[in-house]
Amino acid sequence: MQVPWIDSVKSAGYLTVYNGIDQGKWSGVFKYLLHNFTTLTNKKIDLKAEKDINAANVVMQISDGVGSYTYEGTTGKAVFSATAAHGKTLPFQRDGRMEKAAVFLPKAPTYDHKNHLYFIAAHELIHAAGLVTNDEHGSDGVFMNLPNFLPGGKVNAQQGSKEMPPLFLDSKTHSALGAIW
């Protein structure tokens, strides 16, 4: 399901993001995302760091398997393995518009090469950008459903398909983001 952000965020053209992930293996991933997300989304969405967790549009945090975030009295819970090769994004919506998103990343992912971590975090930020359900997954690129994590930090959709890095989005994902941004 595609959920556009509230008008003030959409018109700004960027998401403010709180960095709660700059620790352990995840150290440096936030900085990478700040510098590369605009290119990944074909200049549709920029990210800007926000030091105030309450002021940020998107809050990124590390989870040991159970994470929660409360926005305006509503608490969302993210339950997944702390060793998962994926994260979990909780969208907070009102009247069909995104107002806040909380991204949880696994504390000790099984695939922990830096490129794999970039992939996992970028994937979750696409959810936070408004492609909130897994129904929006493409067949290739960062927003694919079932990635193959390969030796040396490579990722692909299936044998013989284009390998990442560099990270990319498939045309379905670009179109979906374009429809809401």
Instruction: Per residue of the chain (181 residues), give pLDDT as tens.
Output: 999 999 999 999 999 999 999 999 999 999 999 999 999 999 999 999 999 999 999 999 999 999 999 999 999 999 999 999 999 999 999 999 999 999 999 999 999 999 999 999 999 999 999 999 988 898 899 999 889 999 999 999 987 789 999 999 999 999 999 999 9
| Domain of residue 135, residue span | 7-180
Domain contains 36: yes
Amino acid at 38: T
Residue 65 backbone class (left: φ over 0; alpha: ψ -120 to 50; beta: rest): left
| Bond preceding residue 4 cis, omega within 30 of 0 | no
Domain contains 45: yes
Q: Which residue has the tokens 């990124």?
A: 60
- For the whole model, what pTM was predicted? 0.96
Domain count, the chain: 1
Domain contains 1: no
